[in-house]
Structure 1
Amino acid sequence: MSEESKPVKGKGKEKDKEKEKEKAAKKLHRAIDGLSKDQVSQLLDLNPALANELGSGSNDDPNAVSEALRRLNLQDIMTGLASSGKNVKDMGAYKFWQTQPVPKFGEDDPNKPVEEGPIRNQTVDEIDKEPAPLLGGFEWSTIDLLDDSQLKEVWELLNGHYVEDDEAMFRFNYSSSILKWAMMPPGWKKEWHRGVRATQSRKLVGFIAAIPVELRIRDKVLRASEVNFLCIHKKLRSKRLAPVLIKEITRLCNLEGVFQAIYTGGIVLPRPVSTCRYYHRAINWQKLYEVGFSPLPPNSKPQFQIRKYAVPERVSIRGLREMQKKDVGAVQDLLTRYLAKYDMAAEFNKEEVEHWLLHHKKDALEEQVVWTYVVEDEHKKITDFISFYCLESSIIGPSKHSNVKAAYLFYYATETGLATPTDKEALKTRLNALVSDTLVYCKQYKFDVYNALSLMDNGLFLEDQKFGPGDGQLHYYLFNYRANPIAGGVDKKNRLDTENLSGIGKTQI
């Protein structure tokens, strides 16, 4: 019987779990004991939710903070939230990242800017031409997403073993359409879709993907990769396959002369360049309440919440319409000028704008992934656009509903935000109108919730449009590139910072 198909006996399961917890706690305490005072301070600065849980600030006694950290469990440290979640990450991950070209906790003076640039310089000739060997019983596999059967394998792995919430109530449910959209943009490379198979059964048990991106960090443009969809079969998490997959995707990118990467995660690793917070706007509040996503506030009633999150019946902006192929050039020009405001953003050519923002209705078999709306003035000029994409979450436990259909705010741009000097109040008014109108479309297309991060200029409308702060954070990381911190739209207490808006203009799927 292959390793991944062995049944789990019920009797010794709890004892095994307790042993795992004890091991994790010992590792955690050793890691905490090894942190310097500066490292403890930086860990809290980069994770405001964790600081809130501890009731601590960076000026507190580091010894007291370390002792408080020791009292938390492994998940608390890694996510910054006091919860007993299912996505427990091994503190040993820090040992791996110590070997990688990433900024380390405590290595820089937080009060002094660093010189930005690559951490390690290499040439393609120095890169291994063959992958590192895997544990016995496993082998490397390049995944061809043009092959429907292999695409289905990736879909099955992600939908069974990818990101869950802390209470294991919801799990991302990526459709085959969104997987192709996310992993096959212009310039995509089949070799950058890398899997691990069990040799005997041929079952796909691990996966990681990368796509090319022109990434601008302040005034420098990097030919980089965007790494995503790292997933390991749950029964193989103890095999330490994640570091091996990360090294392999690094090797494959390096062979193409790509030595920098961007990636995101909900856990704190060495070392985020920015941290954003998730915000959620209920559309179908009754359903969200029934599945446990939205609580009923004290002293409230369901009908009050339904009324609170009511959506307008029609849009308000004159000239707002669905994006068409003829708009690609104008949208690309507007987006390029708008993203130039931010410290970190991608640079898109016309082909990429068409891929990421335009739904081709002629592909009748492809379900719609992205919706984009433009505003055309009386002179036929595109003055604004706004977009969102669909990502469902499966409901894991017993429920009358099987899924939550979520819209995620994607890219937007408006000429109102490009005036010199910027009229912040006018921009706030315009963005509120645009987002309010997309709510109308979200309701029309039966979305249950609208999600957004505290990036871009989102701080100008999130509260006005009744987006509530979520538990989750999204940390942005750069591989083999040292950069000074970039504002993520929240302050050190993890509250929306409407005065100092985010410098992040790069959204992640």
Structure 2
Amino acid sequence: MEDNLPDSQTSKEKEEDSTPVNGEDTESLSSSLSNLRISDSNDHKTEELRQKILQRISLTHPNLQTIEHKFWDTQLVSKLDDVVTSNDCGPINPNQCVEDIRKDPYPLPSGFEWVVLDITNEEERTQVYTLLNENYVEDGDSLFRFDYKPGFLLWALTTPNYKKEWQIGVRVSSSKLLVGYITGIPVTVNVMGKNIKAAEINFLCIHKKLRTKRLAPVLIKEITRRVNLCGIWQAVYTAGIVIPKPIASCRYWHRPLDIKKLIAARFSGVGKRMTISRAVRIYKVNEVENNEMRPMEKKDVSSLYKLLKDHLTLFKLYQVFTQDEVHHLFLPQEDIIHTYVKSVNGNVTDMCSFYSLPSSVINNPKVDKIRAAYSFYNVAGTMTYKRLLEHALFFAKQKEYDVFNSLDLMQNRHVFEDLKFGMGDGDLHYYMFNYRVPPLNSSEIGIVLL
């Protein structure tokens, strides 16, 4: 593969100062953040303190103190030291117009070229899959990497009214090898009670051998330009790192379904007083008694749409779905999206859903893949939230998933201990482009990005 890539940049980037602030190291700050998260307080003073800790982690962690922050400081995002209140909520620059947006793509380094990827084309979809499979998100210990399947990508990126020109890549000019990718899909989000037309940005990926080429900022600017040309000025996105500036931070929690496999994959461990056989007994998923739910069908779309629409208004940041989007995103597809409903007299009263996102296990001779189910949207109308997620765990186990993952957003956090979820070590930070939002608790977030 090396022969297909332009020469990598040889000049070493200037190292940034990573000296801890006020003598506190990143580990102690992270510990403080975890302690605050466990309390799950709705006290905004607690949330403000948590945001300050996040900011300080971003300043002290050597992996985050990079030139990328200099890029974000030039963008229409809140700065890390900005104090944003509910009175400040709104566009950072409200006076943009399409006529002022450049018409030509941003220039790329020599040897690279822009390409619009057609995700409905099997060959191009496979190229995207290969790039993501080999270069996308890994955990901090490089043990696991997300494995977005081609069918999943087709589902996630062909939502109603998707725009092909918002799914762009970078190729090596000589070999046509795909080495960069970023996507946007049009969404309506509600922020603090106001509906906003926005782009949901996802799948930013750069080939590992080209990460000194500064392609990521160019991809971000180019997708921004293309979105702006459609008269859309805001975007919502997530990242596992702290950049300027998170509006909320959610923690992943994990519920083992096949604990033996997870231990073999080094995803989970057992303590000194725990045996594998005891762990198997503890994490056994019991069959749901008096199962009240069934897989969603086309006839449920209208009723589920209304249920979800009404439920999401409880949160301060959420996606405003159309009925067509509900049809596309929630109708079950095997090994992609699973949705179950309880229906009374033809009306959906409760629903749970999860999507399939396996992880490749890196350099492990025993296990090469973990089948992970990720909680999507759940609404408990006639049953308790705990019972609703008991159904979700049972259905995921039936489908032979190894682990059930969930963020601590919406109402999820309050049932985790009872359902034997364990807190993970990964955060997902929520961001908005060209929109100021005061700090939000994870329980105030009502949008799940794939």
TM-score of the aligned structures, taking structure 1 as reference length? 0.80
Q: Deviations over 1:295-332 (max 9, x none)?
A: 1112111111111100013x235531111000000000
Q: Which residue of 2 aligns with 1:85?
A: none
Q: Deviations over 1:323-350 (max 9, x none)?
A: 1000000000000000000001001111
Q: Which residue of 1 aligns with 2:251?
A: 277
Q: Which residue of 1 aligns with 2:43?
A: none
Q: Is the 8 A contact 2:309 2:321 kept in 1?
A: yes
Which residue identity does 1:332 align to in structure 2? Y
Q: Which residue of 1 aligns with 2:77?
A: 102
Q: Deviations over 1:245-283 (max 9, x none)?
A: 000000000001111000000100000000010000000
Q: 1:176 to 1:100 in 2, by over 3 A?
A: same
Q: Which residue of 2 aligns with 1:156?
A: 130
Matched, 1:486 2:427: no
Q: Deviations over 1:342-394 (max 9, x none)?
A: 0010011111001110025xxxxxx53001110123x3332101100100000
Q: Is the 8 A contact 1:164 1:171 kept in 2?
A: yes
Q: Which residue of 1 aligns with 2:67?
A: 92
2:2, 2:347 → 1: CA distance?
61
Match of 1:329 among 297, 302, 319: 302
Matched, 1:257 2:231: yes
How many angstroms does 1:461 deviate by?
Answer: 1.1
Q: Which residue of 2 aligns with 1:494?
A: none
1:69, 1:265 → 2: CA distance?
13
How many angstroms does 1:51 deviate by?
Answer: 4.3
1:168, 1:69 → 2: CA distance?
21
Which residue identity does 1:49 align to in structure 2? S
Provide the secondary structure at the position in 2 that maps to 1:447.
coil
Match of 1:213 among 187, 204, 224: 187
Q: Which residue of 2 aligns with 1:371?
A: 338
**Structure 1 stretches of at least 4 aligned residues deviating more than 4 Å after TM superposition:** 1-8, 50-55
Within a 5 Å distance, the mapping from 1:35-434 to structure 2 comes to 49=30, 51-52=32-33, 74-75=62-63, 78=64, 91-108=66-83, 112-120=85-93, 121-313=95-287, 315-359=288-332, 367-377=334-344, 379-416=345-382, 430-434=384-388
Q: Is the 8 A contact 1:2 1:201 kept in 2?
A: no
Q: 1:221 to 1:317 in 2, by over 3 A?
A: farther
2:80, 2:352 → 1: CA distance?
37
Q: 1:92 to 1:7 in 2, by over 3 A?
A: closer
2:307, 2:336 → 1: CA distance?
22
Q: Is the 8 A contact 2:337 2:353 kept in 1?
A: yes
Q: Deviations over 1:26-77 (max 9, x none)?
A: 31348x78xxx9xx99x99xx963645999x998xx9xx98x998x6513xx
Q: 1:291 to 1:29 in 2, by over 3 A?
A: closer
Which residue identity does 1:28 align to in structure 2? D
How many angstroms does 1:486 deviate by?
Answer: 1.1
The alignment's C-alpha RMSD in Å is: 3.0
Within a 5 Å distance, the mapping from 1:398-477 to structure 2 comes to 398-416=364-382, 430-477=384-431
Q: Deviations over 1:416-435 (max 9, x none)?
A: 5xxxxxxxxxxxx7111111
Q: Which residue of 2 aligns with 1:492?
A: none
1:95, 1:386 → 2: CA distance?
41
Q: Is the 8 A contact 1:344 1:503 kept in 2?
A: yes
2:153, 2:297 → 1: CA distance?
23
Q: 1:242 to 1:3 in 2, by over 3 A?
A: farther
Provide the secondary structure at the position in 2 that maps to 1:253.
helix
1:182, 1:53 → 2: CA distance?
31
Flag the structure with more relative contact order, 1 or 2, with Cα contacts below 8 A and sequence separation at least 6: 2
Q: Is the 8 A contact 2:189 2:317 kept in 1?
A: yes
How many angstroms does 1:401 deviate by?
Answer: 1.6
Which residue identity does 2:30 align to in structure 1? A
Provide the secondary structure at the position in 2 that maps to 1:439.
helix
2:135, 2:163 → 1: CA distance?
24
How many angstroms does 1:182 deviate by?
Answer: 1.1
**Structure 1 unaligned blocks of 5 or more:** 9-15, 79-89, 361-366, 417-428, 489-501
Q: Is the 8 A contact 1:28 1:91 kept in 2?
A: no
Match of 2:444 among 479, 490, 503: 503
